[in-house]
């Protein structure tokens, strides 16, 4: 990972600290898990990896700075989005994306 990814991970960690979130290194990213499921990840370049419901993801792709996540040159499923650093400038913007991920987290 790089400095921008580490800074995003620090911001996520601070915002989720009291929520019993587990943190791991996976896929070249720092991922944050809730109930054993990936909620979000901090990726290289300060990009937020976001897990969403596929139908909700189609709607979210219309927002500026959001694209279908890619890994190793291939597109990931419709459940995974990348949110650019430009869409995460303030903590309020980041909290809004974290809330979306929580709402769309698959049931246990």
Bridge partners for 70 per DSSP? 75
Query: Has residue 74 got a pLDDT over 80?
Result: no
Of residues 27 and 7, which shows the higher confidence score? Answer: 7
Mean pLDDT for the chain overall:
89
Average pLDDT over residues 61-85: 85
33-71 tens-digit pLDDT: 988 888 999 999 999 999 998 888 889 999 999 999 887
**What is the number of alpha carbons within 13 Å of residue 40 lying toward its C-beta?**
27
Query: Has residue 32 got a pLDDT over 90?
Result: yes
Alpha helices in 1-108 (DSSP H): 3-16, 54-60, 91-104
Query: Has residue 75 got a pLDDT over 70?
Result: no
Three-state secondary-structure class, residue 37: strand
Query: Has residue 20 got a pLDDT over 90?
Result: no
pTM of the model: 0.90
């Amino acid at each position: 990972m790089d400095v921008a990814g580490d800074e995003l991970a620090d911001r996520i960690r601070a915002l989720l600290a009291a929520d019993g979130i587990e943190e791991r290194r996976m896929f070249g990213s720092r991922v944050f898990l809730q109930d054993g499921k990936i909620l979000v990840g901090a990726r290289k370049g300060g990009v937020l990896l976001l897990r969403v419901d596929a139908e909700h993801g189609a709607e979210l792709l219309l927002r500026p700075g959001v694209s279908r996540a890619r890994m190793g040159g291939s597109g990931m499923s419709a459940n995974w989005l990348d949110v650019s650093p430009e869409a995460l400038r303030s903590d309020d913007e980041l909290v809004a994306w974290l809330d979306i991920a929580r709402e769309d987290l698959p049931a246990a």
